[in-house]
Amino acid sequence: MTNLLSLALNPIAFNLGPIEVHWYGIIIASGVILAVWLAVSEGDKRGIKSDDIYDMILWALPAALICARLYYVIFQWSYYKDNPGEIIKIWDGGIAIYGSLIGAMIVVILFCRHRFIPVWLMLDVAAPTVILAQSIGRWGNFMNQEAFGQVTSLSFLTGLHLPHFIITQMYISGAYRQPTFLYESLWSFLGFLVLISLRHNPRLFKRGEVFLTYVMWYSFGRFFVEGMRTDSLMLGGLRVSQMLSIVLFVGAIGLMIYRRRKAHNPWYLDGAKLTVN
């Protein structure tokens, strides 16, 4: 078994002099770049200028990164209060998706209000690309051997017909682990396929409902995946992400029903030609 430890993938991609470039950052950056490209393409069809999306990203990315780290640090304060120098080391992992989404959404709302862009439309355009970036980003956790689940057996992992490199990487701290990063990555990618397949169907989504469907899809899957993880952020004896997933899932359903009753809500495919809401 000890030989398996040496077969774990190196989380460092390469060195630029004294600077170590981690796969974690490369993978997340790749997901963001692809997400922005897809959002610009869809935004152009919906009447949102590419320059507006690029400008928004310049504000949203730093806010998402800072809030993702703050979210994680707050719920791990018992460790970071004694190790404040570790707070900035995001390249070692330790950012929370829910924190990043909260930070980015605040920026999107403020930016769209400032530029007179329909907020719900912008969220609709971004939602499928965001869940795709989340799917890709989970492979950064894979490279860092984090976001894993409970102890399992080699036979179980082999029975899933996983590639050998995944099975090897899931040998952590002397035991094989459930690849919960993979479960969430696949669930998010499936959500991406569902959203892009359905969002152009006429008279299916009102403005805001692509985004709300994304919230429901992701929070539903995250609730169950989070229950299998061993590194969950906790509040008392409860998993923070599971509690938030319930709130988001129920809230998204309630908001969709409420907004459906407002007759003046335009359809998603109408784009930005109608009144800003």
| Binding site, annotated residues | 138
Q: Which two tokens stand for residue 270?
A: 């109408």
Tell me how many helices (H) and strands (E) the chain has.
11, 7
> Contact 106/193 with Cβ under 8 angstroms?
no
Cα–Cα distance, 260 to 126 (Å, whole number): 21
Among 121, 171, 181, 116, residue whose Cα is nearest residue 6: 171
Cα–Cα distance, 73 to 84 (Å, whole number): 10
> Contact 108/117 with Cβ under 8 angstroms?
no
Residues with Cβ within 8 Å of residue 263, at least 6 apart in sequence: none
Among 205, 150, 155, 202, residue whose Cα is nearest residue 175: 150
